[in-house]
Amino acid sequence: MARIAIVGPGAVGGVIAAWLEKTGRHEIILCARRALGELQVETPHGALIARPTVLTAPEQATPVDWVLVATKAYDSAGAATWLKGLAANGAPVAILQNGVEHRERFASYLPSAQLVPVMVDCPAERVTPTSIRQRGTAKMVVQDDVRGREFVALFAGTPVEISLTADLKSAVWRKLCVNAAGVISGLVLQPAGVMRDEQLGELARQLVRECIAVGRAEGAVLDDSLVETVLQGYRSAPADSVNSLHADRAAGRMTEIDARNGVIVRFGRKHGIATPCNQMALALIEAMTRAASSK
């Protein structure tokens, strides 16, 4: 039995916690800002109810076998406050976050050998603090090495799909292409069905084309067909599905805009690649966030 701490019991963290507890092989510990009761997760395979141990302060943390960080990218520093206690004995720390800078966000807190970057694609929404709707299969990709294979073994017997790859860089950039287009919902505050509009569909294509160009400059292998794959993925999703950037902006919270579109702009500048659509999306979301926070 492994002791697994999950930092950040949001939509993704809650789904992962529920499936890991369902195996009956692990002790699950949630690290949260406030006390939580039982966790209810509606999944494509039926309802799950999880009753993990919940810690509400980093000083309560003791060493575990694995740490899974599922906070938003902008809260990495907050997540890191838990690591001193949880990873004190050298536990591997899997980073289940958006973007392409998983190691960079935690490099100042832990040795690189302890960090396990994970590409995560889990279509889920938090309905209430203790209720989550998982709309589709949770999928993850990790590097094909010792730590990656150990991570896969944690989920044995669950419907969570985890792939091993020799090229994690390309996997996280492919996911970034999906996230880049998702900023449209964050801008217009409408769910995935809005992508069926032809003009917005063309904007999504351009956001993805820019991401592909920058990703290739960074060494990722990205096919041109990804443009249509991303758009069709949004158009075939439930019309009322809400991505995390949309949900955060609608609630007046901080957003992951830097990890999703800002990184494309930053890396584009490094390589001399123009990214006007992503730059505009970044500027608009940041301006809207500032306006909301000043009210």
Which entry of 22, 139, 169, 175 is annotated as an active-site residue?
A: 175
Examine the residue annotation and report whether 84 is marked as an active-site residue of this protein: no
CA distance 208 to 210: 5
Three-state DSSP at 13 gives helix
Q: In 62-78, which positions are buried (b, 16+ CB within 10 angstroms) versus exposed (e)?
A: eebbbbbbbbbbbbbee
Handedness of CA 283, 198, 186, 181 (dihedral sign): negative
Neighbour order of strands in the sheet with 39-43: 46-50, 39-43, 131-134, 124-128
Query: Which residue stretches of 31-111 are H helix?
Result: 76-80, 83-86, 102-106
For 166-221, list the strands marked E by DSSP: none
- So which residues are the catalytic ones? 175
